[in-house]
Structure 1
């Protein structure tokens, strides 16, 4: 996941595709896909730059320049944004949390040696230096503060963070590099060959205070690196009635995740309740932390630092063959059938290094240390993934469709360690592949003048071996098989052109996503999916008005609603605290003035206009130790942006 998110700048379009999309996007699109297309170079000169500023000392600049000749064109897009943290952190030598500093550069070249061949070379570079995540404890307050997740924190981290983690302050340092080469060759009037070669690498280090307090208690980091390479060849056919594509693809991935841990022994043991004879709280009401090492060592030591780490490694190589056919049976009816076969080879490795603590005479975390020895497991897996679709055009303005498709999340080789009579041995658990059958039907239409546009769809998704992410007693995330699950829903969309200057849209969705309420599914039976609301809705107005001459006023007002969600699959409190969020309503506003002749615009904007308080996560690593943490959502952001275009 550390390599999968990126800044959106100089974007041509974003497409959201629902349901399994194995033939279109590969096996990773098990329940849908988000397709982001960036703008390509062009022959004509064009450039633009946007400057912005806002609250929390926000600053941003982004833009592009493009141009070239008939056979070679280039484009350079860039973005930089920074913002102070919106959660105050009173701990010494630590930043305010949820601040960002992000830089992105995207040079691209387009070669068109002749009218039949187009080659695009795109390089993406992104550098992030964000301040830490605001994990907030509701068991112990910061000095002079309270336990509200929306007030200031005292996340002090580890005093040995530089030595143990390689970074002294809380936050994320991340670099992502991506190189993509795409060639489209028109072989004839009906045939086109497409080659897509891509390489991506990322390096990410996050240091976080998992207990969300001033105590030197649950201090962790995650040092993740990864490399990916993929190659796809696709042959496309376009005819009067038949449209199809055939292809092969190769994917190779190699990554690792190192999780170091730092604490003070007496603080850790006291906070988890293993020093009851002293009858001392983890943190006193005045905010001071009880460090009992001097008492436990008869004054010989003032502190007992403890550290350890575990590391996961993964390698995955996948080969695929796929084909997809769409045939117009009649002018009104079109049928589609597609199939992908995938063959995977996986290797998982694990190592840990936890020494016995001085006070407990055992590792502080419930981990069987391999003392650095790497355990591994291998597996080979394959699958057939079909899709079927029927489209019927009732008239020029109205279509109905039905689709059936199969998706898959691959098998997981979970490698750990265990004690045995012979010593420490590998513990290997194979989590079976998750399969999903998706059934969907819908209608899309518009009026003859296109002033009203609407869509209604219904879907039913049947999961086998539904994979969920849980945490063990050491705070480590692992994949588990939750059995069978169902996801049933209805989605509606409506947009209306009210006047020449005003458009209105609305959408509403109901989704009932639950693990089957069957005893064979264990203690998660009947639970709702994590982060899945039952109801979502949105509505908005877009206004555009010519003021006269060369000026135009543009504005938008958008409202969104989301019903309550659970942050963990257990759907249950942790240490007496609800790990959920009630319904959330957010509003955003944009008002801009544009000069259509001089090609500039100035825009005022605000997100979370009414400064609503809500959580974006709860439980987290601290929850595994009885110290759930809570992460607040973004407050009201507002600012102004100025854009100038050159043509």
Structure 2
């Protein structure tokens, strides 16, 4: 973004905020005591509090607001949350970015940076962290290190999702929609019970055709008689969630929640930026010819490109109000995922970079905590245990001559990887003098990670007087890590060696290590008056040490174990903010500024053979500001706006190597959104409802190097998106019909660039979703 554009954008946002306040005031005294924004209660500090009384930066949304905006996927939260970007290539590969820091590593040996909490339990492992948003009670996005209360994975923040619980009164809902790209959805719930046992069953089904056409296997492609691949970015996602609530005594509540999800999506469109499909071009938004491997079923266990993923989650939460001041909570949770994604990493019709990722994981966690709330002193203390056992296998398939030719090894022969007419040069008959027509090659490497983490934490808040409240928190964490690696990589016929990676000769190389740390936080909350609170916080975050195990070539030519320890990434966060309300609670707002200092900043890089590895990029600094405002402009009209600014870079110091001075990947300098809700009575028994959201994100780099790959820019300019809903509902909201659209103006934008292909000199580009639109029907029954 140019400085002029940036300034115009900033001024327009500030003008909107001022207009919100002036517009509210224009209603005058007549509006007082009539229109008030409902108070938001959050549990970011493990107890029910008004969001205004929490001395940290937090954005919270209840289920009703999410439904009114049509939010059904995690990535759409980016459009309404300052400082948050969620990138979804596929449900197997989500990326969570809070304040410019990305958490998306799929390696079983690396730890996440952002804690994803589901009903109070940590589910942060990247390949298992995606889930559908249906029948949601509340979502909280807490920014800044939250290790004291959310665990070590919350080194830069946490995203907490709480599902709706059963109720005693009978209630039910059914919702269905149809849309373009043959989209169909069906969701709903039913709940009811008695004073001691209540139940709830919620479900969701969504399917949609792909929006990037894949001509592989069609007439006119290079292989018209081959396997007909489906169009890219199609989805089919099924989920259901039965839950039970037991209240055997007035002071005891037991919640048992089981969630099952299955994803069967078509492949991600990794469009090659150098070579075009037959009859096409290299634009990320036009059709592709991604044929995959002809041995896909044999090598990968799936014939077509796409994702097969299942997740099982079981959560048992017990709350016991021992007395009016003391509460005991136990959260027991287990989560397992099994995800197979087959992808064409070169994004062309060539049998070149055909990969799969087979990731599995099992997690178990147990937390016990006590909360004592006195007149002046609130104490939270607890212990927790977390264990995880995961693996990430990466099988690979190629044709030897195609692979080597596309890497430029046979440049002297003058045959391009993909010719201008779309044909692919297979040089095996020439290189083997007719002895072989094809030389299929396959290998597989796999990393393993086992972690046992033990924590004890305490958080003490003391009310010095009616205006001043001080908090001190501390978590001790110990981690026992076991990392492993194996590679089954045979010698190539043409080279005599593995095409990449080093074979481990049937062995699994392993290493063990223990780590521990102390993670404090210090908060101050000062009540200026009944409408305005100010706060300041200092907190320490930590991304766990990486115990990286791989194979290298030994002196005798065989594979040897290589163990590298990447030290823990440490972040110190210094923040101050203000939270307030105005015009008799018809407006609320919050703003914060922060400074973050990083040491041992961890990055994921690709080596010369396209294999990802963790590295220490040295020191880094992040400076930023965030603001949110929400206002009721009368009985029918509500607006909101938010804005975030980030200046996050690896320090420009010679000791930080080649990445010195670079911006963080996926980190926009500016993010913001404005939106409105309008609802009014049309006639007796009919209401008009509507919402409109505009979101903005400035330019981003997709790779830490901030540099072109093979002459192609690996970045994205600013992106602006608009979504809208309008409908008619019954006066009692027992039924509704809505028209909806996302990306209303059909903007073209990228989700990612570079990717695995970039590690082999063939950068690929992933297109964002086009305009989706449809009609939705909803019926409610009971209370």
Q: TM-score, normalised by structure 1?
A: 0.99
State how 1:16-165 maps to structure 2 within 5 Å: 16-92=141-217, 93-165=228-300
Distance 1:498 1:192 in 2: 40
Pair 1:11 & 2:11 matched: no
Equivalent of 2:595 in 460, 464, 476 = 460
Q: 1:256-283: CA deviations, max 9, x gaps?
A: 0110000001111111111123211111
Distance 2:667 2:333 in 1: 32
Q: In the alignment, what sits opposite 1:573?
A: 708
Q: In the alignment, what sits opposite 1:562?
A: 697
Q: In the alignment, what sits opposite 2:549?
A: 415
Q: In the alignment, what sits opposite 2:757?
A: 622
State how 1:191-590 maps to structure 2 within 5 Å: 191-365=326-500, 367-421=501-555, 423-590=558-725
Q: CA deviation at 1:449?
A: 1.3
Q: CA deviation at 1:452?
A: 2.2
Distance 1:385 1:598 in 2: 47
Q: In the alignment, what sits opposite 2:123?
A: none
Distance 1:449 1:551 in 2: 30
Stretch of structure 1 that moved more, 200-209 or 298-307: 298-307
Closer/same/farther in 2, CA of residues 287 and 118 from structure 1, 3 Å limit: same
Stretch of structure 1 that moved more, 440-449 or 378-387: 440-449
Q: CA deviation at 1:300?
A: 2.2
Q: 1:136-167: CA deviations, max 9, x gaps?
A: 01111100101111100000000000000000
Q: CA deviation at 1:75?
A: 0.4
Equivalent of 2:310 in 172, 175, 193 = 175
Q: CA deviation at 1:496?
A: 2.1
Q: CA deviation at 1:550?
A: 1.5
Distance 1:576 1:324 in 2: 52
Q: 1:309-340: CA deviations, max 9, x gaps?
A: 10000000000000001111111111111000
Distance 2:484 2:237 in 1: 32
Q: CA deviation at 1:448?
A: 4.1
Q: CA deviation at 1:244?
A: 1.5
Distance 1:174 1:462 in 2: 37
More helix by share: 2
Distance 1:325 1:465 in 2: 30
Q: CA deviation at 1:447?
A: 1.2
The question of whether the paired residues in 2 share the 8 Å contact of 1:475 and 1:624 is answered with yes
Q: CA deviation at 1:420?
A: 2.2
Q: Secondary structure at the match of 1:522?
A: helix
Q: 1:556-609: CA deviations, max 9, x gaps?
A: 111011110000110000000010000001001010111034710011110100
Q: CA deviation at 1:477?
A: 1.5
Distance 2:322 2:633 in 1: 46
Distance 1:116 1:456 in 2: 38
Distance 1:509 1:469 in 2: 25
Stretch of structure 1 that moved more, 446-455 or 608-617: 446-455
Structure 2, gaps ≥5 residues long: 1-125, 218-227
Q: Secondary structure at the match of 1:523?
A: helix
The question of whether the paired residues in 1 share the 8 Å contact of 2:684 and 2:731 is answered with no
Distance 1:154 1:181 in 2: 47
Q: Secondary structure at the match of 2:547?
A: strand
Distance 1:495 1:345 in 2: 45
Distance 2:659 2:182 in 1: 44
The question of whether the paired residues in 1 share the 8 Å contact of 2:625 and 2:646 is answered with yes
Distance 2:435 2:545 in 1: 52
Q: Secondary structure at the match of 2:342?
A: strand
Distance 2:609 2:315 in 1: 39
Distance 2:681 2:599 in 1: 56
More strand by share: 1
Distance 1:301 1:15 in 2: 60
Q: Secondary structure at the match of 1:644?
A: strand
Distance 1:118 1:530 in 2: 44
Distance 1:269 1:406 in 2: 48
Q: In the alignment, what sits opposite 2:748?
A: 613
Q: CA deviation at 1:125?
A: 0.3
Q: Secondary structure at the match of 2:127?
A: coil
The question of whether the paired residues in 2 share the 8 Å contact of 1:176 and 1:200 is answered with yes
Q: Secondary structure at the match of 1:545?
A: strand
Distance 1:609 1:262 in 2: 40
Stretch of structure 1 that moved more, 445-454 or 208-217: 445-454
The question of whether the paired residues in 2 share the 8 Å contact of 1:541 and 1:557 is answered with yes
Stretch of structure 1 that moved more, 112-121 or 501-510: 501-510
Distance 2:130 2:698 in 1: 25
RMSD of Structure 2 on Structure 1 (CA): 0.9
Q: TM-score, normalised by structure 2?
A: 0.82
Distance 1:217 1:496 in 2: 55
Q: CA deviation at 1:227?
A: 0.3
Distance 2:422 2:525 in 1: 65
The question of whether the paired residues in 2 share the 8 Å contact of 1:397 and 1:448 is answered with no
